[in-house]
């Protein structure tokens, strides 16, 4: 039973860390162009929005220093920083590492397969495509956004339909 609790704590901690880093680092200090985290707002959001969730950096087959590789490095740094936990709570640490892999898979999938994203992570589509990109900070789930009142539903609403119609009218 203790292992189940430790695994749950590790997974919940990973989910909370996802939300907090996304909200306060990437959308806080990351909005300043001089920040080391500015790539998130000024590149990742710009490209995802311009390409209807597709992110070219996530689709490249070659290794390049871009948002995708920065994400891999960031997750790796977080894992390394948490290694001391492994000595005292190995099950929790293993769950945190599993969460990091899960996060990486889900975030990558949302930016290479927009239809999958709409079906499985509509809150992340809301984050990138809705008018307010300073909401919906959860990537793998929306429960932290619901808890902290930052969840704004957009996918499947009349607001989304009208925005798509306006874009099509401008393009056509």
Query: How many structural domains comprise the chain?
Result: 1
Q: Across the chain, which distance is largest between two alpha carbons, in Å?
A: 60
pTM (2 d.p.): 0.90
- What is the percent of the chain where pLDDT is above 70? 98
Mind listing the pLDDT tens digit for each residue in 105-117?
999 999 999 999 9
* Those residues with Cβ within 8 angstroms of residue 86's Cβ, 6 or more apart along the chain or in another chain: 93, 94
What's the domain range around 31? 2-171
Q: What average pLDDT score do residues 71-99 get?
A: 94
């Amino acid at each position: 039973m203790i292992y189940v609790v430790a695994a749950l704590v590790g997974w919940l901690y990973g989910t909370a860390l996802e939300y907090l880093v996304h909200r306060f680092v990437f959308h806080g200090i990351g909005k300043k162009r001089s920040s080391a985290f500015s790539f998130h707002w000024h590149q990742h959001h710009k490209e995802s929005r311009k390409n209807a969730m597709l992110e070219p950096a996530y689709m490249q087959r070659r290794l390049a220093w871009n948002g995708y590789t920065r994400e891999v490095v960031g997750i790796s740094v977080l894992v390394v920083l948490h290694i001391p936990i492994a000595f005292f709570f190995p099950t929790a640490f293993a769950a945190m590492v599993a969460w990091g892999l899960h996060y990486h898979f889900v975030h990558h999938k949302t930016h290479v397969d927009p239809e999958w994203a709409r079906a499985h992570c509509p809150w992340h589509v809301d984050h990138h495509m809705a008018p307010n990109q300073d909401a919906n900070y959860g990537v793998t789930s929306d429960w932290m956004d619901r808890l902290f009142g930052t969840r704004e539903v957009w996918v499947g609403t009349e607001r989304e339909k009208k925005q798509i119609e306006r874009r099509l009218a401008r393009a056509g």
